[in-house]
A and B are shown apart, each in its own frame.
Chain A
Amino acid sequence: MTDYQEYLNFLYSALESQNKKQLALSEDTTLVADIGLSSLEVMEFIEKIEDHFDISIPLNILPDVNTIGDLAKKVRELNL
């Protein structure tokens, strides 16, 4: 089982190429409002996570995901 911080660290590194504003990322950074991801970019990001952890992330979780921390928690749940 991977710990929450490890999920966060993976998400930070996976977001590197999409972090065009070069924000200092934290678990409270929002994917859309802060980083400025478009809906297409969010889906590309999700695919990266799915490939890395070999999981499927249902679209149903997305309305509850605003921050990197929200996503790390959801991915951890799915990967348990």
Chain B
Amino acid sequence: MLFDKFQTMANFQAELASRHVAPFGAVTEKILSATEGVVQGRNVILAGTNNYLGLSCDVRCIKAAQEAVARWGTGTTGSRLANGSFTEHQALETEIAQFYGVGHAIVFSTGYSATMGMCATLAGQGDVILLDADSHASIYSGVKQSGAEVIRFKHNNPEDLAKRLLRLGDRAQNALIIAEGIYSMLGDVAPLQEIAAVKREYGGCLFVDEAHSMGVLGATGRGAAQAAGVEADVDFFAGTFSKSLGSVGGFCVSRHPELEAIRFCISAYIFTASSSPSVVASTREALRIITAEPQLRQKLWSNAHQLYAGLKALGLTVGPSASPVVAVEMEDRSATIDCWKALMEAGVYVNLVIPPASPSTNFLLRNSVSAAHTTAQIDTIIAGYASLITAGLITPNSKAQ
């Protein structure tokens, strides 16, 4: 039967319903601030939003969006290649290219379409793509469509990448190497200095997805490559507007003038409507703010260190170093679901992540920190986790009961 393959998921959803828990697609009924809302009838601290700088609720971004919607209407109703290129889109492309100090940029309607579209288009039949094993689903989707030969290298492992490039021989010169800045599930940062060194030794073209690191890392917020001092080795940067910039949309920027021709070959760019002008206007304002206000990044990192240290002190299994994404890893599915529900009841919303969305067979309670969180809110989140231990839902070494 056509639908048989969905039975496992239907059973899982039925199990969640029988336990009166809805972690996937939890409905937000009201946004009170960048860090507080009403979710499934409860007032909660939002600790699973990727709203790293809190700009989704910044009054300046809201005003920019309001003015744009009054000026341009609610949508473009068309593709960038037809009627959907407004001066707002062009201006954002100029500004995001300037932000990265390169000459060329494409703005997409979503972050997913930016990475998926670029990965599907840059390499084609006869080419080779080497991607980090823990790459985002949008990257996997793109490389699958590309027609290129697709090879995974071990996560954050430059030696494994080097080994695989060596095996390619002369083909390595033309390979597309794909890595991310910060990996979205565990918050770990790519060793881009080492990856760039491998690229310099063996050749290839380096594509870095800064979705979770733009606005978060680097002296001016360009991301992990800037923080590592290897931007000159990166051929293409991709990213999203839906995290640190608080809106929606994606981008790819490059120093290569060929990006202008590539634009006309990307299905995910051509065959979809362009972003609403109000979304673009708020993104432009957010980009201006992250450039002018580096203190937002400092506050984000202060909060990230506070949460990481607090959860680590509780004895929970977290990543190797502090990051705006702090994931608590658990081994038992049922216990993780119970913990998610208990955190909601304690007034804390986090993300529940199950394999294969998590990078291993572990289950995750994924927290994302915002510059807009107060110190007291971070303390409340930590207290929520402490209450899980008190209730016997999780043991300090994270072995779920």
Which residues of A line the B interface, CB within 8 A?
38-41, 43, 47, 54-60
Q: Which residue of A lies closest to B130 (CB)?
A: A56
Known pairs A40-B361, A43-B133; A60 contacts B356 (CB<8 A): no
Contacts of A54 in B (CB 8 A): 163, 167
- Please indicate the chain A residues that have their CB under 8 angstroms from the CB of B144 in the complex: 59
Report whether A40 and B360 are in contact in the complex, using a CB–CB cutoff of 8 Å.
yes
Tell me the bound Cα distance from A47 to B134 in angstroms: 13
Extra 8 A-B pairs, beta carbons < 8 Å, given A54-B167, A56-B168, A58-B150: A40-B355, A41-B361, A43-B133, A54-B163, A55-B167, A56-B151, A59-B144, A60-B150
Q: Which residues of A contact B361 (CB under 8 A)?
A: 38, 40-41
Q: Within 8 Å CB of A39, what residues of B? A: 356
Would you mind naming 19 contact pairs between A and B with Cβ atoms under 8 Å apart? A38-B355, A38-B356, A39-B356, A40-B355, A40-B356, A40-B360, A40-B361, A41-B361, A47-B154, A54-B163, A54-B167, A55-B167, A56-B164, A56-B167, A56-B168, A58-B149, A58-B150, A59-B151, A60-B150
Closest residue of B by beta carbon distance from A62: B150
- Give chain B's interface secondary structure class: mixed
State which residues 101-151 of B face A: CB under 8 Å.
Answer: 133, 143-144, 149-151
Question: In the assembled complex, how far is the CB of residue A17 from the closest CB belonging to chain B, in whole angstroms?
Answer: 13
Q: Does B333 interact with chain A (Cβ within 8 Å)?
A: no
CA distance A49 to B154 in the complex (A): 13
Quick one: closest A residue to B140, CB to CB?
A59
Contact with A along B341-362 (1 / 0, CB 8 A): 0000000000000011000110
Residue of A nearest to B356 (CB): A39
B211-245 toward A: CB 8 Å interface, digit per residue (1/0)?
00000000000000000000000000000000000
In the bound complex, residues from chain A placing their C-beta under 8 Å from that of B151 are 56-59
User: Which chain A residues lie closer than 8 Å to B312 at the CB level?
Assistant: none
Query: Residue of A at shortest CB range from B148?
Result: A60
User: Which 9 A-B pairs give the minimum distances between C-beta atoms?
Assistant: A59-B150, A56-B151, A58-B149, A56-B164, A39-B356, A58-B151, A56-B167, A58-B150, A60-B150
Q: Which B residues are in CB contact (< 8 Å) with A47?
A: 154
Q: Which residue of A lies closest to B358 (CB)?
A: A40
Assembly CA distance A60 to B149 (angstroms): 6
Smallest CB separation, A34 vs chain B (Å): 17
Question: Which residues of chain B in 325-374 are interfacial with respect to chain A, using CB atoms and an 8 Å cutoff?
Answer: 355-356, 360-361
Q: How far is the CA of A6 from the CA of B85 in the complex (A)?
A: 60
Q: Which residues of A contact B164 (CB under 8 A)?
A: 56
Q: How far is the CB of A42 from chain B (nearest CB, A)?
A: 10
Please, how many angstroms separate the alpha-carbon atoms of A57 and B133 in the complex? 13
Q: Note all chain B residues with C-beta closer than 8 A to A40.
A: 355-356, 360-361
Q: Within the assembled complex, what's the spacing in Å between the Cα atoms of A22 and B150?
A: 32
* Distance in Å: Cβ of B330 to nearest Cβ of chain A: 16
**Once the chains are docked, how many angstroms separate the CA of A38 from the CA of B354?**
13
Q: For B150, list chain A residues within 8 Å (CB).
A: 58-60
Q: Which residue of B lies closest to A55 (CB)?
A: B167
Tell me whether B305 is interfacial, beta carbon within 8 Å: no
* A45 → chain B closest CB, angstroms: 13
Q: How far is the CA of A59 from the CA of B144 in the complex (A)?
A: 9
Asked whether any CB of chain A lies closer than 8 Å to the CB of B299, the reply is no
